[in-house]
Amino acid sequence: MKLKRIIAAFTATLMLVPLTACNGGGMREYYKNQSLDKLYDKFDGELEGGTAARPITLRVLENDTAKSSGYLKELLDGFNAAYADKYIVAVDANQDQFSDLATDGPYGYGPDVLYQANDMLMKYCDGKHITPLPVDKLDAYEYLPELAKKTYTYKLDGEEYFMGVGVNIQAPMLYYRKDLIPENWETEWDDNGNGVFDPLEDMRAMYRFSLARRAANPENYGFMQSYDDPYFACGYLFSYGAYVFGSDNTDTTDIGFENGDASRGAGIILQLAGTMNKGCVDNSITMSREQEFAAGHYFAVPNTQDMYGTLLSETVKAYRKQGMNAGEAKRAAEENICACPMPALPKSGDLTERDGELIDSTVMGGINAYAISSYTKHPKAALAFLNYATSYEQVLRRNEVLGIAPARSDCNEACTVQSNVAHSLYGMAEENRISIMPSVFGVDRIWTPLSTAFSDIANDPYRPGAEKYTKGGKPDYDALQKLLVEVDENIYSAIYTLAGGDK
């Protein structure tokens, strides 16, 4: 009898332990508050140094173009030479450029310093995976434009933290072939007589030009773009008043792709898609645009600055095939590949009209920046690298090699490659014509619903007899509006329906 009682008591305690332990057993509250007063202490004091036998290694994650162009090697070599006496060695982390610090970092597999776009970097903030930077120790800080500062500011409990040093501003620009502009453009394609080829400043003219080019030769197109890529396609909606999240892209409960006259923007997509081919519905045009552009089949494509190098090299290849020698081809390509901001859009949203008010187009952009992983063992050395990589000389060099548009104001003024692009991006940023990708949790849920919706719209010209969004040859704005409202709802439910949406 006694044994039974003992066993019963034992079993009872055994079952009590899990019950009391469950979900921290009430101890979680106790540990919840962690004071952030000493946050920047790790950057104070003497720079860490290794020894000749055991140097400090900094793993740097860079993007693929920097790597393939050789810029990364130059940067690392330069830094390593400068800090050789401290025995700090920066190496290429050699990981996928989109690798996720949130999965790698906590286990010690992430890089120390990382260069990514703001939507990636700022996503890490909630998990505190990247560390706030001491503004007073950043050499580049005072040269950064407001936009870059705002984008990389993280707000937590009323405090503001600065998370990354912007290096380049990136937004889709219109890249076109100067040599494909018809010779008689000044009489035929310059209605306003301002000395600019109309299709480059007015999307209605571009629409007509695309149709004209195709009519002359079905192999040739004007403006070409794959609409399954929401990053490039969002701009049409933004131009008409849409936004991603409310309260300056921070309130994820307020999704605004249907806001204002956004359906007009959707109508633009629909009409433009009609001048292209089926490739605009899936990613076929994205996959082939550099080659087709080089071959002269596409007159203009929206593209980001980092792809300039590819456009150039493909065009050089195409010219050489036509019989030019290497020098000629390079010169010709550099002269003929031009870029300008995306053309203005008609306020009415109808590309077939000739007159009427125009509105400036807005594009979705991003700012790529250097940030420091919270998991780095050498924060001071990492900071030294960050300062080196964002220095005036390095950013200029980056522009020379990669053609990026520098975010630093002094570099932006002084840059040499694609300088007009860099300047106009700067101008656009100041005029609020670049809508920076949101940096909050939930932004990764917008892409697939958007991509699906844009493909659906672009599909319409290729649904003869079964159009969803066309009525009497014109975009059906009510149907488009309904679609955009659905997109908002889908994104909302993707963020909020299930666990984790308890904001």
Scanning residues 289 to 308, which ones bind other proteins (CB under 8 A)? 290-292, 295
Q: Name which of 39 and 47 has its Cβ closer to other proteins.
A: 39
Identify whether the C-beta of residue 408 lies closer than 8 Å to the C-beta of residue 140: yes
CB of 365 to other proteins, least distance (A): 20
Q: Name which of 108 and 327 has its Cβ closer to other proteins.
A: 108
CB of 307 to other proteins, least distance (A): 10
Q: In 259-285, which positions are buried (b, 16+ CB within 10 angstroms) versus exposed (e)?
A: bebbbbbbbbbbbbbbbbbebbbeeeb
Selected binder of other proteins within 2, 5, 28, 54 (CB under 8 A) = 28
Using CA atoms, how far apart are residues 367 and 364, in angstroms rounded to an integer? 11
Q: Name which of 66 and 300 has its Cβ closer to other proteins.
A: 66
Residues 74-113 touching other proteins, rule: CB under 8 A, are 94-96, 99, 102-107, 109
Using CA atoms, how far apart are residues 202 and 209, in angstroms rounded to an integer? 11
Closest CA to 267 of 439, 48, 483: 483
Amino acid at 294: A
Using CA atoms, how far apart are residues 133 and 126, in angstroms rounded to an integer? 15
Q: Name which of 23 and 194 has its Cβ closer to other proteins.
A: 23
Q: Is 123 in the site for other proteins (CB under 8 A)?
A: yes
Q: Name which of 282 and 360 has its Cβ closer to other proteins.
A: 282
With contacts defined by CB under 8 A, name the span among 34-42, 140-148, 239-247, 332-340 that binds other proteins: 34-42
Cβ-based burial of 409 (10 A; exposed 0-12, middle 13-18, buried ≥19): middle
With contacts defined by CB under 8 A, name the span among 145-153, 273-281, 360-368, 400-408 that binds other proteins: 273-281
Residues 311-370 touching other proteins, rule: CB under 8 A, are none
Q: What backbone torsions phi and psi does residue 351 show, to the nearest 5 degrees?
A: -75, -15
Identify whether the C-beta of residue 233 lies closer than 8 Å to the C-beta of residue 321: no
With contacts defined by CB under 8 A, name the span among 143-151, 182-190, 253-261, 282-290 that binds other proteins: 282-290
Using CA atoms, how far apart are residues 487 and 119, in angstroms rounded to an integer? 20
Residues 201-260 touching other proteins, rule: CB under 8 A, are none
Q: Name which of 129 and 204 has its Cβ closer to other proteins.
A: 129
With contacts defined by CB under 8 A, name the span among 185-193, 358-366, 388-396, 492-500 that binds other proteins: 492-500
With contacts defined by CB under 8 A, name the span among 137-145, 171-179, 349-357, 453-461 that binds other proteins: 453-461
Q: Is 132 in the site for other proteins (CB under 8 A)?
A: yes
CB of 470 to other proteins, least distance (A): 14
Q: Is 286 in the site for other proteins (CB under 8 A)?
A: yes
With contacts defined by CB under 8 A, name the span among 192-200, 233-241, 344-352, 447-455 that binds other proteins: 447-455
DSSP track, 236-274? HHHHTT-EEEHHHHTEEEEEETTSTTHHHHHHHHHHHHH
Identify whether the C-beta of residue 382 lies closer than 8 Å to the C-beta of residue 113: yes
Helix (H), strand (E), coil (C) string for 316-369: HHHHHHCCCCHHHHHHHHHHHEEEECCCEEECCCCCCCCCCCEECCCEEEEEEE
CA atoms within 13 A on the CB side of 393: 6
Residues 461-480 touching other proteins, rule: CB under 8 A, are 462-464, 466
CB of 224 to other proteins, least distance (A): 11
Residues 46-75 touching other proteins, rule: CB under 8 A, are 64, 67-68
Q: Is 427 in the site for other proteins (CB under 8 A)?
A: no
Cβ-based burial of 322 (10 A; exposed 0-12, middle 13-18, buried ≥19): exposed
Q: Name which of 24 and 356 has its Cβ closer to other proteins.
A: 24
Q: Is 500 in the site for other proteins (CB under 8 A)?
A: yes
Selected binder of other proteins within 78, 86, 128, 467 (CB under 8 A) = 128
Using CA atoms, how far apart are residues 332 and 180, in angstroms rounded to an integer? 12
Using CA atoms, how far apart are residues 13 and 333, in angstroms rounded to an integer? 80
With contacts defined by CB under 8 A, name the span among 24-32, 180-188, 351-359, 410-418 that binds other proteins: 24-32
With contacts defined by CB under 8 A, name the span among 21-29, 83-91, 259-267, 340-348 that binds other proteins: 21-29
Using CA atoms, how far apart are residues 395 and 410, in angstroms rounded to an integer? 10
Q: Is 482 in the site for other proteins (CB under 8 A)?
A: no
Site size for other proteins (CB under 8 A) = 80
Selected binder of other proteins within 5, 13, 31, 157 (CB under 8 A) = 31
Q: Name which of 2 and 28 has its Cβ closer to other proteins.
A: 28
Q: What backbone torsions phi and psi does residue 433 show, to the nearest 5 degrees?
A: -90, 0
CB of 295 to other proteins, least distance (A): 7
